[in-house]
Amino acid sequence: MVYNGVPSGAEQWERYVHSLHPALRFIRTTGSYGIARANNSGFNASHGQYIVFIHDDLLILQKDWLNTFRRILDEHPEVGMVGGSEAKFIDRSPEEASWIEAGLKECDWAPTLSMVRRCHLEQGLLFDEFYRVGMEDKDWALQFRRQGLKVAYIPIAHHHIGCQGSYVAFFSDRSLLDGYTKEGVRERYFLEKNKDVLKPEYYTAQMDKWSGRDRDWRRTWWMKLYLKYYIYRIVGVPKQVYERIFRSSI
């Protein structure tokens, strides 16, 4: 487990991880809270032919999911990554994606629960650490397309809690909050970096949208985060609140 949350929760999580199995490792990342850096740190400490990335807010309910993912990668060398939480699309529509086999469909981006072969990561298909929070998995998926590999999705039974653990960091770190809510910075970087693999019409439309602006004013999710930040700063965050959030994530 790689922990990139608030410092006050690290010791509790470390005790919990060590109580599960003595072979499990607990790694703390420092300074940036970056999800991309946390994922890369986990890979660098890992072993094995297959690597799985699981977000901190996911409860997996299906017992045979690991074997399902492994079988897909073994039988389909053209698939570079397989995900089980959701199938997302960037510059294509769902209708444009092909079925690889019954129940297994190609997509552009399969975040939250993903398996890849170790060899691809060793060849450089790691997460771009420019992204502290947001778009790191979307950008990562396009690196497979650039190598001529498919991203695939097969539904795995799960429950998505919804960032009840990691989002506590936003309430204690203003620089992290500012960086997360300024979408335009990430969007422009993403578009320029991946211009060679994105459809030209998608690139043009998105660049027109994000050129010269950092936020989509039609959406209010970032306003709610700022509101929570200032409320937490004014009233403080009782220890019981942190503990309740961490327990809900477990």
* Domain boundaries defined on the chain: 2-249
CA triple 165-180-42, angle to 5 deg: 55
Return d(Cα 10, Cα 15) in angstroms, integer.
9
pLDDT tens for the chain, residues 1 to 250: 888 776 777 888 888 888 998 888 998 886 556 889 889 999 999 999 999 999 888 899 999 999 999 999 999 999 999 999 999 999 999 999 999 999 999 999 999 999 999 999 999 999 999 998 889 999 999 999 999 999 999 999 999 876 555 566 677 778 888 888 889 999 999 999 999 999 999 999 999 999 989 988 888 888 888 888 888 778 776 655 555 554 544 4
Query: Domain 2-249, what architecture?
Result: Alpha-Beta Complex (3.90)
Q: Tell me the C-alpha distance between 109 and 144, whole Å.
A: 10
**Which has the closest alpha carbon to 173: 130, 118, 226, 111?**
226
The continuous run of DSSP H or E covering 80 comes out as strand 79-83
d(CA 100, CA 150): 10
Tell me which residue has tokens 């942190």: 242
Radius of gyration of the chain (CA): 19
Q: What angle do CA 166, 168, 173 make, to 5 degrees?
A: 110
Q: How many residues does the chain have?
A: 250
Among candidate residues 140, 132, 78, 76, the one with its CA nearest the CA of residue 114: 140
Beta strands at 113-117 and 79-83: parallel, antiparallel or unpaired: antiparallel
Query: Which SS3 state, helix, strand or coil, does residue 182 take?
Result: coil
